[in-house]
């Protein structure tokens, strides 16, 4: 008998097994394909949810930065409402919270709660999927600091935002971020630069005439045998919200800070940080390239610097004229002995309120240190001199009102002398504040030391020689060959009452979570 008879049907069994294997493989491929599809869909929805959460974070931050009014000493939202000794800051024994969920909000002003709830929630859609977002902000820290413009409340907020997609394929993402304002303290407002122009246009900072910008330390200065400061070839930092336009081989022994980038011809419509009419290099002054340079290179600012204008004198000074010549006396000027002393040719004015002080004919006037001056304008002519004396341990702070004056600070016909007890120029001891927008005309000198804080006003420098200190203006034009020597003492709180400079809000941290 043929033994193969018992093998009938084997092929069918193998065929069934093969079909089964192929079926399993097909089902596996289908499951794999479906898994990939669901994975891609899940990734897309989680990404959309995260974008929604980021939208919530940004809208909440935008409200706090641009629309929210921080508490003040007085008013409808006083600082006394808050316990600032704890973190988070507390109101009524609980953390201060602004939330799009009304039951979670804890803020003393209902109008602010409502405004936040309106601003910080909403939705995004691509026509197929709608992402909803909500947010809450917790006040982590709060304090009040003194700036040139008066007291400013500084806050740190922690913002949490959720982005969600409803329905069967739901998704939820959460992002958190911390926004705060950087505060620096110094002996003067905006102490970080020898020159800073707040304007954002081309040529907001103009240097020419082969000048040098360097630094020194007025408390530990190196002097020549003749008692002249030997500056250091570093930390002569300058900055602008716009562009530096240089000609004539100016050398900046420091950095140039600006939101702009690159070197080129900004006047042609570019957005360059630095323009130069001749040879130029961002770094590396060498004998082979005797041209303009910024030895420390360009520093790209993340955003424009906002310098708050100083507070106007209150009450405003009079606008009467005080004409001082070499022959003037306190009595001839009609000034009280409580604020005026000295003899003809060398008058001493004490802290107080004055109108338009005009020096001429070789007059010498000394401002007594240790107080505040409210003066409408100061002009120097005919080789006259404004001095601070040599024992000015406490700064003379001069607040210029400038009512009805085209040049409220005009030194074009005279000079300024300001040195400490060791004969070293000491800019911290003579500070000029100006909130207006009129032109300021300044000149350099061998002992000219002062700081000028006028963020809304154009400043012009002439006369050659040196300026020891710092200048802040809307534009700064140093076309008169005036070397700038920045005093590093300005950047530290060397006085008993340091002045705060409050920067823009910045997001210091960012993280996200998936649910």
DSSP per residue, 84-134: TTSSS-EETTEE-EEESSGGG-B-S-HHHHHHHHHHS-EEEE-SS-EEEEE
Q: Supply the angle between the helices 10-66 and 110-119 in degrees, to the nearest 10.
A: 140
**Residue 458, beta-bridge partner list:** 475
Following DSSP, what letter does each residue of 32-91 receive, concatenated?
Answer: HHHHHHHHHHHHHHHHHHHHHHHHHHHHHHHHHHHT----BSSSSSBGGGSBTTSSS-EE
- Provide CB contacts within 8 A for 108, sequence distance 6+: 77, 81, 91, 92
pLDDT at 514: 60
Rounded CA-CA distance 63/113 in Å is: 11
Each residue's pLDDT, cut to its tens digit, for the chain (515 residues) gives 555 556 666 677 777 788 788 777 777 777 666 555 555 656 677 888 888 999 999 999 999 999 999 999 988 999 999 999 999 999 999 999 999 999 999 999 999 999 999 999 999 988 888 999 999 999 999 999 999 988 999 999 999 999 998 876 678 899 999 999 989 888 888 888 999 999 998 889 998 878 899 999 998 898 888 889 999 999 999 999 998 887 767 888 999 999 988 777 776 566 788 777 655 555 555 544 445 678 888 888 988 998 999 999 989 999 999 999 999 999 999 999 999 999 998 999 999 999 999 999 999 999 988 789 999 999 999 999 999 876 656 789 999 999 999 999 999 999 999 988 888 999 999 999 999 999 999 999 888 999 999 999 999 999 889 999 999 999 999 988 899 999 999 987 655 678 899 988 988 877 877 65
Residue 26, SS3? helix
The whole-model pTM stands at 0.84
Spatial CB neighbours of 491, under 8 Å, sequence gap ≥ 6:
186, 191, 192
């Amino acid at each position: 008998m043929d033994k193969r008879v018992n093998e009938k049907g084997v092929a069918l069994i193998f065929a069934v097994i093969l079909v089964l294997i192929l079926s399993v493989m097909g089902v596996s491929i289908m499951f794999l394909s479906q898994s990939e599809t669901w994975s891609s869909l899940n990734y897309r929805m989680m990404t959309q949810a995260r974008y929604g959460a980021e939208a919530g974070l940004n809208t909440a931050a935008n409200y706090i930065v641009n629309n929210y009014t921080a508490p003040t000493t007085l008013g409808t939202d006083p600082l006394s409402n808050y316990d600032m000794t704890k973190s988070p800051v507390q109101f009524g024994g609980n953390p201060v919270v602004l939330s799009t969920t009304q039951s979670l909000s804890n803020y003393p002003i209902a109008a602010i709660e409502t405004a936040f709830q309106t601003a910080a929630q909403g939705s995004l859609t691509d026509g197929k999927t709608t992402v909803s977002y909500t947010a809450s902000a917790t006040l982590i820290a709060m304090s009040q600091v003194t700036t040139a413009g008066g007291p400013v409340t500084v806050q740190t907020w922690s913002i949490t935002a959720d982005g969600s997609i409803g329905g069967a394929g739901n998704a939820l993402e959460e992002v958190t971020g911390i926004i705060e304002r950087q505060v620096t303290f110094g002996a003067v407002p905006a102490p970080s630069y020898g020159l800073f122009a707040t304007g954002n246009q081309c040529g907001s900072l103009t240097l020419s005439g082969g000048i040098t910008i360097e630094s020194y330390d007025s408390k530990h200065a190196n002097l020549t045998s003749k008692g002249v400061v030997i500056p250091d070839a570093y930390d002569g930092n300058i900055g602008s919200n716009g562009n530096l336009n240089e000609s004539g081989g100016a050398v900046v022994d420091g950095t140039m800070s600006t939101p702009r980038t690159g070197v080129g011809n900004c006047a042609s419509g570019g957005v360059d940080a630095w323009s130069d009419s001749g040879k130029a290099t961002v770094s590396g002054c060498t004998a082979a390239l005797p041209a303009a340079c910024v030895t420390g290179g360009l520093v790209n600012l993340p955003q424009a610097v906002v310098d708050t204008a100083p507070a106007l004198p209150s009450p405003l000074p009079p606008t009467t004229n005080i004409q001082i010549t070499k022959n003037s006396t306190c009595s001839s000027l009609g000034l009280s002995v409580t604020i005026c002393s000295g003899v003809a040719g060398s008058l001493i004015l004490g802290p107080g309120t004055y109108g338009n002080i005009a020096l001429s004919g070789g007059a010498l006037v000394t401002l007594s240190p240790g107080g505040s001056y409210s003066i409408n304008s100061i002009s120097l002519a005919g080789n006259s001199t404004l001095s601070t004396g040599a024992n000015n341990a406490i700064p003379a702070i001069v607040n210029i009102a400038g009512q009805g004056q085209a040049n409220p600070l005009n030194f074009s016909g005279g000079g300024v002398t300001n040195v400490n007890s060791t004969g070293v120029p000491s800019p911290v001891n003579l500070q000029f504040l100006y909130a207006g927008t009129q032109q300021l005309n300044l000149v350099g000198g061998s002992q000219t030391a002062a700081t000028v804080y006028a963020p809304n006003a154009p400043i012009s420098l002439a006369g050659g020689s040196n300026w020891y200190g710092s200048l802040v203006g809307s534009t700064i034009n140093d076309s008169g060959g005036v070397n700038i020597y920045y005093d590093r003492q300005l950047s530290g709180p060397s006085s008993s009452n340091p002045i705060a400079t409050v920067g823009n809000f910045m997001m210091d941290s960012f993280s996200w979570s998936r649910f």
